[in-house]
Amino acid sequence: MNEPLIEVRNICLSYSNERADGLVLKNINLSINRGDFVSILGPSGSGKSTLFHILGLLLRPTEGHVFFHGIDTKNFSPDMHAFLRNRHIGFIFQDFHLLPHATALDNICLAARYPSEISPAIVNPRRKAYTIAERLGIEHILDLYPTQLSGGQQQRVSIARALMHDVDIILADEPTGKLDQKNARAVVTIFEELHQEGKTIIMITHDLAIAHHAYRSIELIDGTIHATHTLKKPHYVPDFIPARTFLPPRLPFHKCLQALFPEALAHIMRNRMKSFLMMLGIIIGSASLIVMLTLGRYTSRKIIQSYEILGSNKIRVYGYPNQNQVATDQAPLVFRSFQVDKDITPLKKKFTDIKRITPMLRSVFKNAAAGGKIIGENRVALMGIGPDYPYITQRKILLGHHLTEFHIENKSPVCVVGFSIAKQLFAHENPLGKLIEVTDNSTLRVPCRIIGVMQSIEKIESTNPPNYHVLVPYTYAIATSTQQWHSMIHEIILQINPKTVSSFHERLHKHFTTRYGNSGTFNIGNDSELISQMKRFIMMFAIFLTSSAIISLCVGGIGIHNMMLVSIAERIREFGIRKALGATDQSIKLQILIETMSLCSFAGFLGFLLGFFIYEACILLATYFVPELTFEWIIEPSAVAFSCFAICTVGIISGLLPALKTKKLNVTEALSAR
Ligand code: ADP
Ligand code: MG
């Protein structure tokens, strides 16, 4: 006895939704044998298509059992259903159900991609498609799109698609319904040929003439089988090959991605304009992100560099004896003032961060006189310095030269004067070699010979204007001082490596307090406080810029997300077709995810390029306004890394949410969606 290929027992199907409420199929019993050519005939609305969906494993009945190759399909998973549809059933629809944006060839090859989780059964789908197309006489229209084809051609394309896998069953729902008589006859002839070759054919129709081409005709009226007519005796029964009723092993995830990637890419390419609009938000978002991050880092680097040039890596150390020292305080050494040989010189050896160092004796509110002229009003400052002083403070010489080691060692009575002193005392003569005398209003008299004049520095509202400085060797300042306090060094100026500014302060302070205990008070002047404040400000600024860029990126992501949702709603029928042909839910989800991820990464890449040119243009523009800047090509690795991370996150989230929404996709409803 020939075993039934598909058998339905006591099938009932009811709908309870807004379209209908009640039984559509009532207690149907039917078995389709191998080699059968069955037509199911019935008026419109009698439940033919519903039965078609049940026989094609597209719809589960409300009650009853469907046996496929003798096995009850009730407990089969949705993936198993998809697999059986894909490998055993060739679907032909009244509406053809071709993907409108794919060529005839791509449409024919579609089923070969699914289920994407298992190894494909066809090695070279395109070649096979061509062979089938040749047989059906449509090989010349393979590059055309469905809208460019006649109804007859479209139906042949869908027959070719049904034949891609070597299926047992051809299941056709009103295949001639949209065709003229000539084409209808041609399609039936194809079915007859396929039947001769051993395929089992189930053809649904409401046309009696067409139905009579079958070997057996089943009449369906109002959801029940009204009559069965045997028209011809089945003459051909091939060997029985049982269906694979288990799922082959799954492919690794990356293979599955590989299988779906071309399909996703093809979809993007087919909808270029829509894809570009989707990408626009991400392009703008990622461009602004990379611009903000890069320019933020670039400007902060430039600002800090310019502060360093101004001497922010200059540190002043003040040390005074502690007036409030208690008798019981233990101190290894008692501090009175800094000693050059014991405190200052060893410091440079101990701290490798120190580049230069100078003692500083500062005595302000002095006057200067020469040749009968005087600069009064206590504007002059007498500074006892070491040879490193001009380098630390970056004071440039205009005439003559700076004080040298020689002058320091020999307590030479020489000086380097500020620009205003030279100008006011020696208006029309060369000040070099001239003698001046720095005095205060009591006994101090410091005579010295000018060996250098410094360039003018304009500092507004300074109480200690640099143009009125008189720099003398600190040794000479000590030797000529009239007060004990002024002969002691209480200030040191250091120039340090700018990178270590913050930790250096603490280390230096610790050094002096362990050495002198409580006997001295040490203050470390904070020129560098300014720079760290500046850094904080710059960081705040960068955070502000970055967050606004991230917001724009998120807006882009929401854009992709929304447009994807809209596009999914528009593509319900497409997904229905894919699922009918064997795509699993996961394939559909993965395809959407791949589409959005590809869009996001490509948009991110375009945004990156755009951003790169924008920030380079900004830098170029800035060089015209800020003469200190020079144009440079920059790529901030941290900015690039952060942007990539942000784009990927936005891409995954905006793709994942719409993908998850497709989970409950009913094939039957999806196929009838417009
Ligand atoms: P036929 O293909 O013979 O014209 P169908 O099987 O398409 O008939 O439909 C049979 C009946 O089931 C019709 O009354 C139709 O309105 C109803 N029906 C079909 N699909 C649905 C559905 N998804 N929801 C509710 N009612 C449906
Ligand atoms: Mg129908």
Residue pLDDT, tens place only, 141-175: 999 999 999 999 999 999 999 999 989 899 999 99
Task: Decide yes or no: CATH 3.40.50.300 for domain 6-250.
Answer: yes
Q: Output the residue whose Cα is nearest ligand 1's atom 26.
A: 20
| Angle, CA 360 vertex, CA 355 and CA 362 arms, to 5° | 150
DSSP string of 79-147? Answer: HHHHHHHHHHEEEE-TT----TTS-HHHHHHGGGG-STTS--S-S-HHHHHHHHHHHHT-GGGTTS-GG
The bound ligand whose nearest atom lies closest to the alpha carbon of 51 is 1
pLDDT of residue 29: 94
Residue of 24, 49, 207 best suited for mutating to test ligand 1, as the one with most atoms within 8 Å of CB: 24
Atom of ligand 1 nearest to the CA of 206: 3
Whole-angstrom distance, CA of residue 535 vs CA of residue 542:
10
Say if residue 332 is preceded by a cis peptide, omega within 30 of 0: no
Q: Output the residue whose Cα is nearest ligand 1's atom 19.
A: 50
Residue of 92, 63, 121 whose CA lies nearest to 244: 121
pLDDT of residue 1: 45
CB atoms within 10 A of CB 121: 14
Residue of 28, 44, 50, 55 best suited for mutating to test ligand 1, as the one with most atoms within 8 Å of CB: 50
Residue pLDDT, tens place only, 546-587: 888 888 778 878 887 888 888 888 888 888 999 999 998 888
Residue for token pair 């400007």? 299
Whole-angstrom distance, CA of residue 367 vs CA of residue 380:
5
Where the chain has pLDDT below 70, the residues are 1-2, 18-21, 235-245, 306-312, 325-332, 459-462, 498-502, 526-533, 663-664, 674
pLDDT of residue 501: 59
Helices 181-196 and 151-162, packing angle to 10 deg: 20
pLDDT of residue 64: 94
Q: Where are the alpha helices (DSSP H) in 145-271?
A: 151-162, 181-196, 208-211, 253-270
Whole-angstrom distance, CA of residue 59 vs CA of residue 606:
44
Domain ranges of the chain: 6-250, 256-307+533-671, 314-526
pLDDT of residue 499: 62
